[in-house]
Structure 1
Amino acid sequence: MSYPETLDGWLDLLESRGGASIRLGLERVAAVRQALNASSDALIITVGGTNGKGSTCAMLEAVLIAAGYRVGCYTSPHLLRYNERVRVDGRELDDAALVAAFFAVEQARGDAPLTYFEQGTLAAWHAFCRQPLDVIILEVGLGGRLDAVNVFDADCAIVTSVAMDHMDYLGGTREEIAFEKAGIFRPGRPAICSDPLAPQSLVAHAREIGADLKLVGEDFGFSGDRTQWVWWHRNGTRRGGLAYPALRGANQLLNAAAVLMALECVRDRLPVSMQAVREGMLLVELPGRFQVLPGRPSVVLDVAHNPQAAGVLAENLSNMGYFPETWAVLGMLADKEVEEVFRLIAGRVDHWFLAGLPGPRGLSAPALAERLRSAGMTGDVQCFDGPTEAFAAAQKSAGEGDRIVAFGSFLTVAEVLRAVRSARR
């Protein structure tokens, strides 16, 4: 059989095999990993949770790079290019390296069926193993216990938050979902949870397996004023005079506190100075997480697609100051809690520009409008074929002092970001 020679060719091949499918379970991935025969001495930090995973990974990556370590970072999904998912020292892996990694996994898998995400996870691992890395950061795709990333044993694991999302796969209650996410914890190793209301199932599982559990508010935490913040550890350690992370939003201090707890836990292997912490937090970047673009009207991009994230977005919008009108560009997938997302953020929006999304899970704009009307949406509502058209219309309608908020699915934010970058060329 001939194999693709380009990255786009590989991604098309994986999609044609049922790339959108989800098959939870570690047996197939573990078998292919063993056949891949790729290993690394790097310390592994795994990050799971409903929201905040990407921000936490980005902060860890930025601080560790600032400290002089060689860092591999695997995240998902991507916004504009698949290469965003696999980075070494903050730089995206090039197409040639990814093509070589996909080919290696293909040779190792034999007849084992792998999903798009599983093959991508193993390809990232293979690519990392060909580099002399000090630390590898892995972001969980879905859940934790049965996610492909969990085939790698974490030296330190972080669960950022637990909320209702992916219930078809993870369970219908917060306690059930928390148990799945706690599956990334390992006996005798640091297990950090930065959810202020850690579910009992997560705590019980960590203690049952003998993980070294660290809970925000009990074992570590933070305080701050308008200009700086302080991190504290129950052992008496304090880190003060910290500038706020470059990632915007009040929730980012929870993520930053978990990052400092993780660094404290692994300091014997990866000591990090406070100068590196300050530098990394100031330089960290992550598109699509309450990203405020320069210019007028103000444009906010946020991949808030579940109720917890929508609540955080609503709070962050309220802290931005006064805007005469707010224009929302929204596109959502059908399996999300669309009505609850709307209820949480409706009070911050004056005009709704609804965008249809492609694929079997994407909601058309009229279908999205119908679901939002059932949740009580009234007033100015317009429907568009896609995010590009909805965003262009919002730009024409918004006044110079207004605000445009493009949010919902990664697909929505990616298309708007692509349109913004294209217009600037």
Structure 2
Amino acid sequence: MTRPDSAALRARMMTLHPAEMDLSLDRVHRLLTTLGNPERNLPPVVHIAGTNGKGSTLAMLRAGLEAADQRVHAYTSPNLVRFNERIRLAGAEIDEPTLVDVLSDTLNANGAAEITYFEATTIAAFLAFSRVPADTLLLEVGLGGRLDVTNVIEAPQLTVITPVSYDHQDFLGDTLAQIAAEKAGILKRGVPCVLGPQEDEALEVIEQHAARLGVPLLAHGQHWHVWEERGRLVFQDETGLLDLPMPVLRGPHQIMNAGTALAALRHLGHDEPACAAAITRAEWPARMQRLRTGPLVAAAPGVELWLDGGHNIAAGAALAETLRAMPARPTHLICGMLDNKDCAGFLAALAPLVRGLQAVGIPDTAHAARPEDIVCAAEANDIPAETAPSVAEALARIIAAQPDARVLICGSLYLAGHVLTENG
């Protein structure tokens, strides 16, 4: 009998989704118990929550830890091109045989019981992490924090909360305070937390949770500071000052993400070479990524082509800040989003910086926004916009009107993954 591949196993997991969704950890604890609680047999965990910057911060932490000769597991979501991207075992993406093993074991233990896709695949990741030795596990929260699958870790080594802003309001709440309370759910009694820059409303809530649990906070603006000075990144905490190169990940917002990663590395006892590697060796696709090869680039030789998966109001503001810091060039957007995102809010900060927008759908993606709705959101921000049947056609239209354009493909990690796949 032919053994099913990982795609077939993940398709089976999709069929187990509860008829009525409830945000709880009951299903997770049930299945973990059946599997012998692999979440209790993991290397020291750094647990990372936040609205924006989680992935970039994790990528920098991974680069720094690996430069210090650590074997590092990492868990992130969603993937861009291949599911295997989500699970890194001791420095490498999980291979197909190992992935099939842990998915099969998870499905067999679960049987026909209801469970969500993210719950099941995260539990499979815990199985993989428990079976391969490593020095550290970098664990990114999927949604929120308090009721996220990853929050079954009872005693992490360190927690990290990157900037909290508006996203997933249908699950996390309509106010910044409510969203921050969900993120603060990853705090554990007595376990230190590195805190990235926060709005006052979010900071107050996180500080209250920390005080109740006796959590030592290492907060931006209080315990550590980071800034750019003469083309260098300067970081200062109670240990001293670091004078480092600028982050290889582009955008002014990456300075704060770098600071968060550096604060975590310093707390974990790592030296200046590890800190320098964190910000100069980090790789994180679809975060203001310059596309330099592939069919899209070949079809647009005079165009500067960029790709970013940011999709909420804060991400739009960060992209605008990044564009503003770049040399002036006529800028156009190719935008595709999910229908549960605030498209008008995402585009608001970008509006003064762009000449026009081509709205596209996202192929093979549930809940993709209709291009017509994206056009309406763009026009509400006074951005000239029209729909296009594909990214390639959108790019061709921009080239015809503006051969020397800067083009930013943006609005969704799912769109970014499609572009990376199609562009080779």
Which is worse superposed, 385-394 or 341-350?
385-394
Q: Are residue 334 (structure 1) and residue 332 (structure 2) matched?
A: no
User: Within 5 Å, which residues of 2 pair with 1:141-160?
Assistant: 141-153=142-154, 154-160=156-162
Alignment of 1:13-412 (within 5 A): 13-18=12-17, 23-37=22-36, 38=38, 39-153=40-154, 154-198=156-200, 199=202, 200-233=204-237, 235=238, 237-267=239-269, 272-294=270-292, 296-323=302-329, 325-358=330-363, 359-373=365-379, 375-379=380-384, 381-395=385-399, 397-399=401-403, 401-412=404-415
CA contact (8 A) 1:391 1:416 kept: no
Q: How far apart, in 2, do the equivalents of 1:378 and 1:241 lie?
A: 41
Change (3 A) 1:26 1:292: same
Q: Distance in 2 between matches of 1:286 and 1:21?
A: 35
Confirm or deny: 8 A CA contact 1:162 1:178 kept in the other structure: yes
1:417 CA drift (Å): 2.1
Pair 1:164–1:22, CA change in 2 (3 A): farther
Q: Report the CA distance between 1:378 and its aligned residue.
A: 4.7
- Give the letter for the 1:162 counterpart: V
Partner AA of 2:413 in structure 1: F
Q: Return the offset for 1:411.
A: 1.7
For 1:230, give the aligned amino acid: V
Following TM superposition, by how much is the alpha carbon of 1:177 offset from its aligned partner in structure 2, in angstroms? 0.3
Q: Is the partner of 1:46 in helix, strand or coil?
A: strand
Q: Deviations over 1:224-258 (max 9, x none)?
A: 3132122112x3x1242211121111111211111
Q: Residue 196 of structure 1 contacts residue 217 of structure 1 at CA under 8 Å; is this kept in 2?
A: no
Query: Secondary structure of 2:358's match?
Result: strand
User: TM-score when scaled to structure 1?
Assistant: 0.91
Q: Deviations over 1:169-193 (max 9, x none)?
A: 1011000000000000111111121
Question: Is the 2:362–2:414 contact (alpha carbons within 8 Å) kept by the matching residues of 1?
Answer: yes
Q: Deviations 1:111-157 (Å, cap 9, x if unpaired)?
A: 54221111111111111111111100110011000000101132211
Q: Distance in 1 between matches of 2:332 and 2:173?
A: 35
Q: What SS does structure 2 have at the residue aligned with 1:404?
A: strand
2:205 alignment partner AA = S
Change (3 A) 1:189 1:368: same
Between stretches 12-21 and 100-109, larger displacement belongs to 12-21
Shift of 1:66: 0.8
- Contact 2:291-2:306 at 8 Å conserved across structures: yes
* TM-fit CA distance, 1:293: 2.4
Q: Answer whether contact 1:118 1:148 (CA < 8 A) is retained.
A: yes
Distance across 2 between alignment mates of 1:21 and 1:194: 35
How far off its partner does 1:19 sit? 9.3
SS of match in other structure, 1:165:
coil
Asked whether the 8 Å contact 2:71–2:91 carries over to 1, the reply is: no
Aligned to 2:295: none
Distance of 1:416 and 1:21 partners within structure 2: 33
- Label 1:415 to 1:182 Cα distance change in 2 as closer, same or farther (>3 A): same
Question: Given the two structures, how large is their TM-score scaled by the length of structure 2?
Answer: 0.91
Cα pair 2:6 2:96 within 8 Å, conserved: yes
Corresponding residue for residue 296 of structure 2: none
> Mean Cα displacement is larger for which, 221-230 or 165-174?
221-230
- Cα-to-partner distance string for 1:347-381 (whole Å, 9 max, x where unaligned): 111121110235442112123223333x24353x2
Distance 1:4 1:24 in 2: 33
Counterpart of 1:277 in structure 2: which amino acid?
C
Distance (Å, rounded) in 1 between the aligned partners of 2:138 and 2:368: 30
Change (3 A) 1:83 1:112: same
Percent identical across equivalent pairs?
33
CA contact (8 A) 2:75 2:138 kept: yes
How many Å separate the matches in 1 of 2:91 and 2:18?
A: 27
State the AA in 1 paired with 2:275.
Answer: V
Q: CA deviation at 1:327?
A: 1.7
SS state at 1:260 partner: helix
The one-character-per-residue Cα deviations of 1:6-49 (angstroms, maximum 9, x if unpaired) are 01112222233349996421122122122212243511001110
Take 1:175 and 1:360, find their aligned partners in 2: how far apart are those partners? 30
**1:331–1:365 CA contact under 8 A, matched in 2:** yes
